[in-house]
Amino acid sequence: MLYVDTSVLVALCTNEAKTADVVKWYATCADELASAAWCVTEFASALGIKQRTGQLTETQAQAAWVKFERMCANDLQLLPVDSMSFHKAAMLTMDAAAGLRAGDALHLACAMESKVAGLVTLDTVLAKNSKRCKVKPVSI
């Protein structure tokens, strides 16, 4: 199973610089995919930010949301986030040298807890920390 962070999901469902690469990766990926249920909130937040900054219209954001919901229903296992994952994420963010933001630390903690084969991300800081925590980063 591969853990997919929200940066990949946003690029898959909206038009970003890495969208073509993510679409190509997704089309050829045969692995089971998972992400923390937290990605739903984070994805919605990304759509809201994109609307506020003029990157998406409301119609485009709604279309991206439908695409995301379809992916969650068919291709993405949403993993529960327990209190130990939040605690692990807190410990990861307290390491100032790691440079992890809270959301990325939560993704990494969930990936570690789920013992996934790899973590798929477009975020270089998360990928670096994934490797440091012995979760194989999967590049696109």
Q: Where are the domains of the chain?
A: 2-138
Q: In the prediction, which pLDDT does 137 show?
A: 96
pLDDT, tens only, 50-99: 999 999 999 999 999 999 999 999 999 999 999 999 999 999 999 999 99
Say yes or no: domain 2-138 is CATH 3.40.50.1010.
Answer: yes
Cα(109)–Cα(92) distance, rounded to whole angstroms? 8
Average pLDDT over residues 11-30: 96
Query: What average pLDDT does the structure give for the chain?
Result: 96
Average pLDDT over residues 107-122: 96
Average pLDDT over residues 122-131: 96
Average pLDDT over residues 114-126: 96
Start-to-end CA distance of the chain, whole Å, equals: 16
3-state secondary structure the chain: CEEECHHHHHHHHCCCCCHHHHHHHHHHCCCCEEEECHHHHHHHHHHHHHHHCCCCCHHHHHHHHHHHHHHHHHCEEEECCCHHHHHHHHHHHHCHHHCCCHHHHHHHHHHHHHCCCEEECCCHHHHHHHHHCCCCEECC
Sequence-separated (6 or more) residues with CB below 8 Å from residue 73: none
Q: In the prediction, which pLDDT does 65 show?
A: 98
Per-residue confidence band for 128, with pLDDT thresholds at 50, 70 and 90: very high
Q: In the prediction, which pLDDT does 72 show?
A: 96
Residue 139 has pLDDT above 90, yes or no: no
